[in-house]
Amino acid sequence: EVQLVESGGGLVKPGGSLRLSCAASGFTFSSYHMNWVRQAPGKGLEWVSSITTSSSNIYYADSVKGRFTVSRDNAKNSLALQMLSLTAEDTAVYYCARGRGWDYNLYMDVWGKGTTVIVSS
Amino acid sequence: EIVLTQSPGTLSLSPGERATLSCRASQSVNSNYLAWYQQKPGQAPRLLIYAASGRATGIPDRFSGSGSGTEFTLTISRLEPEDFAVFYCQQYGSSPLTFGGGTKVEIK
């Protein structure tokens, strides 16, 4: 079964940091571009970041550029999102999603259940 | 950045009725790279349609997508009880990837 499982969410103070992980199974992870998408409480979906298969190309939304870093370990079938300098506006459910297409032209065909990040003092 | 505007915000319909959802882009979507997702409360989004009209694996044929350029439509031919949810469009023809604000299809 194709599966993505996120972890690492939690409560963090403003200015703090957090590292999210996504474990992939049931497919050849190294063959797919990967994405992070978030959803603030009661709001719509917001693309956060994409990383190509070999990590050669990485893209970020302007709202997180310079603060978030995406990475992947194809040997471990895992995706990560390092988040620094968090603010209340980063409070959201973060989804890991498999990308279809090429480079940044990606739609998402498989989604994890998400992990919740709450930034609050 | 391409802004996607979805309308209506809420659609109140009965099971068996036809649903027509609109997604309008602020500029032309390259290669009609437009996807549709369904999201139920407490769940992750599910891919329905890609490339404006391609149905994703396992998606019933009552779901169809159409359109090109700046105007796209998701049609549900006959609503089933499990179809009531929020639907999002997403363009992937240009960076950054963007989503519409969503249309909620609720039971009338």
**Residue B59 near chain A (CB below 8 Å):** no
pLDDT of residue A105: 87
Helix (H, G, I), strand (E, B) or coil at A90: helix
- Per-residue pLDDT of B37-89, as tens digits, reads 999 999 999 999 999 999 999 999 999 999 999 999 999 999 999 999 999 99
Q: What's the gap in Å between the CA of B79 and the closest CA on chain A?
A: 23
Q: Which of A107, A110, A111 lies closest to B35 in CB terms?
A: A107
- Per-residue pLDDT of A70-85, as tens digits, reads 999 999 999 999 999 9
On average, the pLDDT of chain A sits at 97
Q: Which of A50, A106, A114 lies closest to B44 in CB terms?
A: A114
For residue A104, pLDDT beyond 90: no
Q: What's the gap in Å between the CA of B21 and the closest CA on chain A?
A: 16
Q: Which of B92, B94, B103 to mutate against chain A (most A CBs within 10 Å)?
A: B92
For residue A102, pLDDT beyond 90: no
Q: How many CA atoms lie within 13 A of A59 on its CB side?
A: 23
Instruction: Say if strands A10-12 and A115-119 run parallel, antiparallel, or are unpaired.
Output: parallel
- Measured in whole angstroms, the distance separating CA B91 from the mean position of its chain's CA atoms is 11
pLDDT of residue B86: 98
Hey, what amino acid is at B49? I
CB atoms within 10 A of CB B17: 14
Instruction: Say if strands B103-107 and B10-13 run parallel, antiparallel, or are unpaired.
Output: parallel
What is the arithmetic mean of pLDDT over A17-27?
98
- Per-residue pLDDT of A26-58, as tens digits, reads 999 999 999 999 999 999 999 999 999 999 999
Q: Which of B21, B8, B24 is nearest to B70 (CA)?
A: B24
- The conformation of residue B31, written as its DSSP 8-state character, comes to G
- Per-residue pLDDT of B18-45, as tens digits, reads 999 999 999 999 999 999 999 999 999 9
Question: Which residues of chain A does B44 touch, with a Cβ-Cβ cutoff of 8 Å?
Answer: 95, 111-114
Helix (H, G, I), strand (E, B) or coil at B63: strand
Q: At A31, phi and psi to the nearest 5?
A: -90, 0
| Total CB pairs under 8 A between chain A and B | 64
* B95-to-A21, A46, A71, A118, B81 alpha-carbon distances in Å: 24, 13, 19, 27, 36
Q: Which of A54, A38, A19 is nearest to A97 (CA)?
A: A38
Interface residues of A toward B, Cβ cutoff 8 Å, are 35, 37, 44-47, 50, 59, 61-62, 95, 100-101, 104-114
